[in-house]
Structure 1
């Protein structure tokens, strides 16, 4: 068997697993799985490699990781010429012919220069010779105008710069245009409702539905004309057709032909990814939310002004979502204006966290039991998912990281389909009544309607995922619901034990640096102390320590001691199980309502925390769904002025200033005239708007 040469810049794909060559001999190769922690090695003989290639189980892409080829793929947005439509691929081949012929002539003819005149003369000669090759006198030729010297110079530069790869010649026209809908919200509402009317046992045709849509818009235009309002434009029939095709096709067929016929038509005929048990393979991805479109679908046009709609159209929110492939259950999601690794890490933390409290807070009728440590995590190639910290969290969960290439969308098609279901299925199950009630009640008086709607959105998403999506028959599960699939498969296979709260903090917590002193360490105005921490202090002295802080439970911190994490509790049991945002609101509220007294007894603080935590319309925003994961700089900034003029003491403490013993002092406080005693950061006033940034 002849030896197969594999270069260090080749990409080797064995199924869905990427291999990297480690060593080579006359017998074969030793490979390591890319991204595996710990490294997993595999040996293949040359004969085995040949058989795997012949059976299409192994694929080798030559020079895949060469810089020029990588740059060309980045520009083209595809991996190979075969990924393009035939017409566009032919155009790239035509461009490459001009470029390569010019390079040949330049190498063999000194008269061929890169001046405009010489380039144009050479292009005409190349074009003429191309038409003469293999031409017959009885054939009609389709001739295209040759490129100008300026255009050709751009082709030539890109081709040489990107490793002589034909993909470098692709233009960027595909990125042109407005990706967001410019349709009038009222027209969009009518389009959506008429598309839904197609799902009827009377089986109306698209033409019939379109005539009904035109008639209703014409009727509205008469009323608008009488009131001096601009006319609505009826969308094209093709637009209605696309809207209908975007609906869940199983539900459409079942509505028109009956559930039994739909089940027979949409029976599973392929296995897809080889996944059999829960959490064996999870996918994570991001999706842009078009707030103005969702608001229009909910029928909120009557309570929103044109300024409100413009504000929604300008606001950009992302939903980051994790899906279990075997059961199609949503394991966690977050809505955020950020699209960074921090948000991806927080979403991943939801996968191994209990989410029943979130469902209860959102008013769900069902529970949300799905979660646990995954075996394989497949994100796309976005910057948030290739971040080292994100990959480190996956490794700490003892999971395998498998990055899905941009062109292989089927490796993450399940989660992308969920995004499509959200877009088409969210709004039919809800109305704008709850939003309208909030406006009518006069709540949030200082905020515009667009801001109110944004704050209601997390509750809407949780309700739809937990109560609707998880309990709707799924095409990919043979019409079993994701909820029942989770119950059935977890009963059959079980799941691995999830990390506890302390382990989650060690894996996902925000890493901070704090001073270690007799009172322990101080974070967000709270002291954390333990005997083990002081034993370490007696060994190393007053020094700086690294700790990890969980914004969703500020009752403990994890401090790095020697070569392991030490769990250290807060000296105040009242904050255990309390999230950072509730704590910040409680401190701010007590400062505002008790300005005459800077010392507050612990039971007063406890009552404030409990009252704020039970505020329904704010509680969902403090959960992992919507609360922005704060950065190190934001935590330090808030902490610098959080406790100015504020302290709380034990219920039985005397009125005089408490003694500065190890635990008696409560939370030491800086007065307005002097710096805080033992503070880790310089005191500075922090505005409520700046502190509120952690929430919003």
Structure 2
């Protein structure tokens, strides 16, 4: 993916993130190439009618051509979550709790707002303002106060005070005796006084308590069964999937098909598939396919793919189909995998207002929808050449490797066709209708289901991509920044060399993000300018490689008795290994698999710009290429779905 970012001349090296969204609802103001319009009616998943504010004429507009209008000037849409102070984040969460009952469709009447304002002891104008700011981003970050400058984790208290608060929370607050937050504050301040420290404020202590997930707090404080009942659905029932994107399940599975490499067409193994499903409609929201084992990257890229519109993705793979799914899930349910529980993934979800619900141990029903989808997809692949089937007994004497003929990209196209043209359009046994029809009912209403409305589209694709990459915090030295013993440098870092944190007086840590499939560059978040900048390796002669390839080279250098921190030796090893892999690719499956994995990483598709690798700079006299938005959309509406086969 990041390799494409380096190769594509159109991809900017300096990027201003924006988490604004395009509200596709009647009455919403939107930007269009023809001017500013007010949406009159949403006709279907592709088209709206809208009135031009300049001419007053009514036009039909394609949804894919709409852009957001910067109507809310005081929303922090350009801030990375690690750049938000803990106290400010607590305020944002309390504001979200205040307006949450009013976010459901039909719940924003004047009477409801005034009643809620009276309950909270604030003015209705304040409630309306919070509602507007939340809707501008559809995320809690839209409610962050505007007092910028302090960073989360490097706040207004000393490192010693941070350690003390953590100690008291662990040993005093998170106990079966369940002391109140106020008692915990007093205990922190008592110990701080005994140790001669500046007393931390009650706000600081409460903010750190609230960072602990509610399920974890309840479990540690002797309310395990209560937590399980609150956060676990009953077997066979999903009561919370009441509308599209309300609850989403995500999981990984190895595919039951042997694939061959692109060059020699010889077998290299089975790829992994990470997939997300909407509980309400059973629509497949997004996926990620790779030879890499499940990781935070798999989960993050799958979720980013689920949030983003799919028009360009279908064009990339040459699929003529409708996949009208985009938008932020409210709750994402997963198993107990380390990738889902990683701090980086949690922060990425929090930044987009997505709540994470980890499957409690011993509750297999919790992920029933995603497991049935995986089973359906795997079963449909069993008639492909190279199938490994579902078990050794079922496979029998079938030679999966010997009969494998499909490359990873060819298998991916098969899966896309299966999802869009078959699974989404066949009658679902539990729904009594196709998932695509159920999704349409959830959005537009019908069959007793109130309309939820079209999900808001992200205004900026690149921001979604960056938000779901792994996060790192590093100090900046005179020679740049170090990550995994690799030096990165660009002039934009010069301003921050030797910078001190104003709260602690220690070296200031900055936010970086990196795609592990191409570690040739980092993305640096400048907390002052609110921009991301691409930072290349200081060693410009080093080859672009993935983190797994780099780690493998370091291991081999160490086994040979040399210093693995010698960057020159490591990158030389990578070059030699690549040459050896190419020489032996026709001999062994493992070598072919490594070569194919490296090739996939080099051409990995960026969900923010899927067609980047297909674009080339036009000739000087060549006419400009037509906008992707003006290409003819896939035909067929969800109302035309008709099939008779039931699916699980």
Shorter-chain TM-score tier: 0.3 to 0.5
Indicate the structure whose relative CO is greater, using CA pairs within 8 Å and at least 6 residues apart: 2
Q: What TM-score do the two structures reach when normalised by structure 2?
A: 0.40
| TM-score normalised by structure 1 residue count | 0.37
By percentage of residues, which structure has more helix?
1
For the pair shown, the structure with the greater C-alpha radius of gyration is 1
